[in-house]
Amino acid sequence: MRETMVSTERVVLTHTYEDVDYVSCHAYYEEKDGDLASFLASAVDMDHFIESIVATADHVKAVTRSDKTINISFDEWNVWYIDRYHQVDKIEGIDNWPVAPRLLEDAYSVADAVVFGNLLISLLKHADRVTSASLAQLVNVIAPIMTEPAGPAWRQTTFFPFSLTSRLATGSTLEVKLTSDVHETDLYGTVNTVDAVATHDRETGQTAVFLVNRSQSEEASVAIDLSALGNVTLLDAQTLADEDVYAKNTLAEKERVGLKLNESVRIGDGVISVALPPVSWTALSFV
């Protein structure tokens, strides 16, 4: 499907390049058939998707000798269990035209949130060309926030990477030279076990680093060289992880999952070390 879209974009842009400002991209991910390893590496697919569209647009730019650069608007992205949605008509007691049915109210797990946070990392890594991106959706429908009619609201697991990244990722994205252990997945082949991105705000002097550990069983020890920034002070270190990677926040347990202070961070000689639990997303901020 990705290959078909890339081919289509090439043909369309060949005829419309000077009239187009953005290419629209959509991507949704879900764990299928118990393949957690591939699901945790979903951002590898997003990386390839973005880079393929960028390469296609730049190819047409070169062929047409245009001075214009086309960027990407990632109009829709999220973790979405589409297969569950397709079963809705088969649920006992629900016909094809119910009144105000509960549709697409996915309850997100820790694993879902780690993938979600990794998709944010992918978008930030490509912020030079992905200059617009929209999470689909925000409340109840495949959303980070859940509500009950005339009742309470609570934060899903995906709320935490979305909220913290939105607050900390300011300024410019830094080019990260990442060296990581690798492992095999059925869908994406050999992938890095750790993925990361960093941002730096010149005005405030604040730096943020976002990391994921895709390993299902092993803690990852990460060293980050920030010596180019001079002396730094740790502001915060938050990790989303749980021994039960399928733990969720629900109406019955609204605060089952949340961010926890990562107390493993050490700073010395311009190098920060941090331990990442298995299946985890971590945000570090420095000044």
DSSP state of 99: S
Classify residue 247 as exposed, middle or buried by CB count within 10 Å of its CB (0-12, 13-18, 19+): middle
> Could you tell me what percentage of the chain is helix, strand and coil, using 3-state DSSP and rounding each to the nearest 5?
30, 30, 40
Residue ranges of domains in the chain: 2-286
Question: Domain 2-286 is in which class?
Answer: mainly beta
**Spatial contact of 161 and 140, defined as CB atoms under 8 Å apart:** no
Q: Rounded to 5 degrees, what are φ and ψ at 26?
A: -130, 140
Measured between alpha carbons, how far is 183 from 193 in angstroms, rounded to an integer? 6
Alpha-carbon gap, residue 203 to 223, rounded angstroms: 26
43-48, Cβ contacts within 8 angstroms, sequence gap of 24 or more? 43/115, 43/118, 43/119, 43/121, 43/122, 43/195, 43/212, 44/185, 44/188, 44/191, 45/2, 45/187, 45/188, 46/77, 46/119, 46/122, 46/123, 47/122, 47/125, 47/126, 48/2
Residue 274 CB-density burial (10 A; 0-12 exposed, 13-18 middle, 19+ buried) = buried
Q: Tell me what pLDDT residue 143 has.
A: 97
* Bond before 137 cis per omega within 30 degrees: yes
Range 261-277 average pLDDT: 96
Q: What is the mean pLDDT of the chain?
A: 94
Note the pLDDT of residue 178: 96
Structure confidence by residue, pLDDT tens digits, 59-116 = 999 999 999 999 999 999 999 998 776 665 555 555 666 677 788 999 999 999 999 9
Cα distances (angstroms) measured from residue 136 to each of 113, 117, 262 = 14, 14, 29
Residue 1 predicted with pLDDT over 70:
no
Helices (H), 65-109: 82-85
Give residue-wise pLDDT tens across range 158-171. Answer: 999 999 999 999 99
- Report pLDDT digits (tens) over 174-200: 999 999 999 999 999 999 999 999 999
pLDDT greater at residue 87 or residue 281: 281
Q: Which two tokens stand for residue 61?
A: 């730019």
